Structure 1
Amino acid sequence: MSRYLPSLLERNSPFNVIGTGLLIVASTYGLSRYTYGLFVPAIRDDFNLDQAKVGAIGSASYLGYLLATLVSPILVRRFSPRLPIILGGMTATLGMLLVALAGNPLWLALGVTLAGCSPGLAYPPLSDAIKQLCRADKRSRYYAIINSGTSFGVMVSGPLALIAGSRWQLAWLCFAFIALTATLWNLLIMPGSTRGTAHHTSSLEEHSDRLPACQEPMLMLLRRKLKDKLVRRLLLGALLFGLVTSVYWTFSVELIAGNNRLSETSSVIFWMIVGIAGVAGGLAGDLVTRFGLARILKWATLAIATSIASLTVASEGMLMLTISAVVFGATFILITALYGIWSVYCFPEAPSLGFGLTFFLISAGQLVSPSLAGVGADLWKMTGVFQVTAIVCLGILLLLPTQDVRSI
């Protein structure tokens, strides 16, 4: 064991790169952002909220993410990947602490919104950090594994929700502690400079590619990139993906609890299954290398649309619900990794900018969707909202990449 200790202590060791990335993604995405949907029934009852208000708070979380995603690439280019990652961890900690202590809907909404900012700050810089800390042949695999951290966060939230029971805010105190731990670890490991810290095996060509991106003004770079058909397909597909998936994250537990009269424990188990299945998304890097991004994205889109639709026809038993949870969890994490790999492929000169823009548009769709779904559920039924969402999801098939993307 002692002979492996020096390598574990190295900043760019697999343990530190993957470990810090997984934990910050689990804290900011899995806990700060997506766990809100698990607690919607308890939040609605405790604060006496209707569907529209619940959806509005969910949208506020996505608004926070949207704004933070704009800021994060600027901080990376001007300072370092470490700064926005640490800021993301801090906002996750503070936001979830506010939710845990909230005594009225206003403080609840403020906490949810602040927590929602955290992945927008912390996630885009990870592409730069991975590029600096890892060899080129390891980047796609490491990124896909780190991206699956969302699933680990969702998995952790389930047991803590069961343990907390009716005192659900205690679970959010635990979430805040996890986020604080992730922040401190990332403070020690993440690179503090965008130059000069690349892995010692990186090629000279990669170094020369990075310099023009740092010198070229961001608006000029964006204007040039938007002329590329592949980039436009990436961004439109990301927007549509965000639009359809946030309905599931925000209202799936509400739908199955209402339609199937499931117990609170069964609803939490459903949520945990979504998280556990998402770990499979960590295979995205290897799948892209072997089969190509377009083919994987096509089948993943068909699968996630089916999972959304199947939730509306689920019976009293758990079989159909379990299938939906497994398919959605696995394909959601898989598709987010695919869009991340695709964005770095399109923006090799400025990975965090491509990341930030792609996930900004995913969040833009997620911002609009919960409020529309909440209003639609008040006017009609949530079942109909999910059915329409599944149909709209198929539009992603019209926006697949036209080139064979197989690596970052």
Structure 2
Amino acid sequence: MTLSAAGRVGLAGAAVVGVAFGMARYAYGLTLPAVRQDLGLSEVVLGLVASATFAGYLAGLLLAGPLAARRGPRACTSVGGGCGALGAVVVAAAPSPGWLAAGAVLAGSAGGWAWAPYSDIVTRTVPVPRRSRALALVTTGTSGGLVLLGALAVLALSGSWRLVWAGVAVAAVGAAVVNLLLVPPLAPPARSPRRTAGPGATTGLVGRLRVPLAYSLVYFAVVVVYFTYAADLLAGGDVPAAVPALYAAVGLSGVVALATGTFARRLGSARVAALSLVTVGLALTLLALAGTSLTATVVSAGTFGVGYMTGSAVLAVWTAEVVPARAGAAFTVCLVVGALTSVAAPALAGALIPTLGLGPLLLGTAGVSLLGGAALLVPRRSRAAPGPPVG
């Protein structure tokens, strides 16, 4: 059976993003308790390393644009696969905190290299009626990556946390091969005077993306806190399978994000984004109150998976709707803002935990997410009342 263009690109994107974003970027949070014990790191150092991984992600985002302009978007996804594989190998063999940080930063950059270029790949290879579905499929690949990460965590229960990172390296190589086989080597986008980069062009893009940018600011901050510290909260319990169950539940429930394109068409992308923030806020509240209960943890993770994956997919759909001619650039701008908050959030959390405790920190983060969802809905209603929507 021959796959359609949407099927080929969607499958390749799901594999690459699933490994780069769902595994390489979040494996650090999953292995954090064991890393602390093995290498004897403090909360402050652990928080700084977590922030550094998102700094790597930010670097990948910023460097992907120039590379795509010279070599085409597939080159960025290939570099992302290579960074994920090499970084995971370095972490798996890390003898010291310095090597751990270097490998984690390189692995963390994989998502930055790979994710946004797929918006351009989809818009250039997939017919308009199927684009939102293909974009949702690419983003929802993260769910598969998280399920696989949970399986690796089960394997590591009887061995070392380093097995998780070795598994990430193997998966990254496999995804890179799928990417080369299924995605055509697209030429760099043609340059034109109207699309020349400059302050005016950037300002105009940001102006059109005001609401998605505000959403990105809150969404990425609350998501990174959940992923960085959820495993840490559960590690002290009496149920060793709690951490793998957490990641598997997030991945499995996140499959609902495959319908994000349909949700966006019926409700509007802004409303879907707002509901995602509310769902993540509820999941953070449940996690903070769950203690070491496996049942409560699975409920929290399942709730979080719906909000996290739908919230991620809707950002790709939303930016492509707002700026269809520059979908990759629009998505990158929002991801850069999200990366900046992702860099700051773990470091800030690591500094606050010794004073507040992890539970109160999670509750405070939940409050931010809930307020963000409410704030996102209010201005949309007030702007819609005076006249017809701007299209």
* Structure-1-length-normalised TM-score: 0.88
C-alpha distance after superposition, 1:170-218 (max 9, x if no partner): 231121111111112212332333469xxxxxxxxxxxxx875874325
1:247-266 alignment runs, 5 A limit: 247-258=225-236, 261-266=237-242
Q: Is the 8 A contact 2:19 2:168 kept in 1?
A: yes
Candidates 370, 376, 379, aligned match of 1:399: 376
Q: What is the one-letter code of the residue matched to 1:168?
A: W
Q: What is the one-letter code of the residue matched to 1:360?
A: V
* Structure 2 residues without counterparts, runs of 5 or longer: none
**Distance across 2 between alignment mates of 1:324 and 1:266:** 12
Report the counterpart of residue 388 of structure 1 in structure 2: 364
1:137-156 alignment runs, 5 A limit: 137-156=129-148
Report the counterpart of residue 115 of structure 1 in structure 2: 107
**Distance across 1 between alignment mates of 2:37 and 2:239:** 15
Q: CA deviation at 1:352?
A: 1.2
**Distance across 2 between alignment mates of 1:213 and 1:14:** 31
C-alpha distance after superposition, 1:342-389 (max 9, x if no partner): 112222221111111111111111111111111111122011111110
Segments of 4+ in structure 1 off by > 6 A?
none
- Structure 1 residues 43, 214: closer, same or farther in 2, change over 3 A? farther
Matched, 1:193 2:186: yes
Q: CA deviation at 1:221?
A: 1.6
C-alpha distance after superposition, 1:68-124 (max 9, x if no partner): 111112222333111111111110010001011111111111100000111101111
C-alpha distance after superposition, 1:282-341 (max 9, x if no partner): 211111122221222222221111111111111553332221100101110100111111
Report the counterpart of residue 224 of structure 1 in structure 2: 204
Report the counterpart of residue 22 of structure 2 in structure 1: 30
Candidates 268, 277, 281, aligned match of 2:257: 281
Q: What is the one-letter code of the residue matched to 1:121?
A: W
Q: Is the 8 A contact 2:233 2:291 kept in 1?
A: no
Q: Is the 8 A contact 1:77 1:214 kept in 2?
A: no
Q: Give the secondary-structure state (helix, strand or coil) at the position aligned to 1:223.
A: helix
* Structure-2-length-normalised TM-score: 0.91
- Structure 1 residues 15, 340: closer, same or farther in 2, change over 3 A? closer
- Structure 1 residues 94, 324: closer, same or farther in 2, change over 3 A? same
Higher deviation after alignment, 394-403 or 33-42: 394-403
Q: CA deviation at 1:255?
A: 1.5
Q: What is the one-letter code of the residue matched to 1:16?
A: R
Report the counterpart of residue 205 of structure 1 in structure 2: none
Report the counterpart of residue 169 of structure 2 in structure 1: 176
Q: What is the one-letter code of the residue matched to 1:399?
A: L
Q: Is the 8 A contact 2:233 2:292 kept in 1?
A: no
Q: What is the one-letter code of the residue matched to 1:397?
A: A
Higher deviation after alignment, 158-167 or 62-71: 158-167
**Distance across 2 between alignment mates of 1:142 and 1:217:** 28
Matched, 1:90 2:82: yes
**Distance across 1 between alignment mates of 2:312 and 2:165:** 25
* Structure 1 residues without counterparts, runs of 5 or longer: 197-209
Q: What is the one-letter code of the residue matched to 2:335?
A: F
Report the counterpart of residue 365 of structure 1 in structure 2: 341
Q: What is the one-letter code of the residue matched to 2:325?
A: E
1:319-358 alignment runs, 5 A limit: 319-358=295-334
**Distance across 1 between alignment mates of 2:284 and 2:201:** 37
Report the counterpart of residue 36 of structure 2 in structure 1: 44
**Distance across 1 between alignment mates of 2:238 and 2:225:** 19
Q: CA deviation at 1:271?
A: 2.0
Q: Give the secondary-structure state (helix, strand or coil) at the position aligned to 1:249.
A: helix
Candidates 291, 302, 327, aligned match of 2:278: 302
Matched, 1:293 2:269: yes
**Distance across 2 between alignment mates of 1:213 and 1:38:** 47
Candidates 230, 236, 241, aligned match of 2:219: 241
Figure out how many residues of one structure are paired with residues of the other and give that number: 381
Q: What is the one-letter code of the residue matched to 2:232?
A: E
Q: Is the 8 A contact 2:51 2:344 kept in 1?
A: yes
Q: Is the 8 A contact 2:217 2:337 kept in 1?
A: yes
Q: Give the secondary-structure state (helix, strand or coil) at the position aligned to 1:263.
A: coil
**Distance across 2 between alignment mates of 1:214 and 1:327:** 44
**Distance across 1 between alignment mates of 2:5 and 2:325:** 24
Identity of aligned residues (%): 29
C-alpha distance after superposition, 1:262-287 (max 9, x if no partner): 42222221221112111112211111
Q: What is the one-letter code of the residue matched to 1:185?
A: V
Report the counterpart of residue 204 of structure 1 in structure 2: none
Q: What is the one-letter code of the residue matched to 2:44?
A: A
Candidates 367, 370, 376, aligned match of 2:352: 376
1:56-71 alignment runs, 5 A limit: 56-71=48-63
Q: Give the secondary-structure state (helix, strand or coil) at the position aligned to 1:167.
A: coil
